[in-house]
Amino acid sequence: MSRRGRTPLALGALTLAAGLALTACGSGDADTDAGGGTPQVKVGEAFIPAPASGDMAAGFFVVHNGGAADTLTSVSSEIAGEVTLHTTEDGVMKEQGSFAVPAHGELDFERGGNHLMFENLKKRPKEGEKVAVELHFAESGTVKVDFPVKAATYNPTSHASH
């Protein structure tokens, strides 16, 4: 068996590392992948772009997790009859039942990728307002976050840089 760098194993590890780099921001220790410890989730960078119509709005945020793995199981909000969770792949969005929150990592809901859809709006969110949103996690329970409503074109600079 060759132990040179081009073995399939090494390639696999490289691919994995590249994948993790997208989501695992600042994960220093790789000790807990499953079990043990508790999740420490913190939601940041939340916003809702002011929707053009009163039918539907999108929502974006990042879950920072400093502990064990967790799962985002559902989202609810006082302004919407229903909040659904979507991925976007190759420009096509797809509803998902839940999202994994990696241990010592991040779950990103950012423009062009994962997003919330606020459906059956009870009122149309306007720029400058705040919308109360509840994120429900399997382990961490409910986390309440006020999502500020931003301009329709608002897009925060990537948080990928430290």
Site of interaction with Cu ion (CB under 5 A): 86, 93, 117
The residue number with the shortest CB distance to Cu ion is 86
Residue whose CB is less far from Cu ion, 15 or 96: 96
CB 80 within 8 A of CB 56: no
Residue whose CB is less far from Cu ion, 32 or 87: 87
- For the CB of residue 129, give the shortest distance to Cu ion in the complex, in Å: 21
Coil, strand or helix at 133:
strand
- For the CB of residue 140, give the shortest distance to Cu ion in the complex, in Å: 24
In whole angstroms, what is the distance from residue 132 CA to residue 28 CA? 32
In whole angstroms, what is the distance from residue 48 CA to residue 56 CA? 11
- For the CB of residue 16, give the shortest distance to Cu ion in the complex, in Å: 28
In whole angstroms, what is the distance from residue 150 CA to residue 75 CA? 20
- For the CB of residue 66, give the shortest distance to Cu ion in the complex, in Å: 29
Residue whose CB is less far from Cu ion, 40 or 74: 74
What does the block give as tokens for 127? 């720029």
What does the block give as tokens for 143? 């986390």
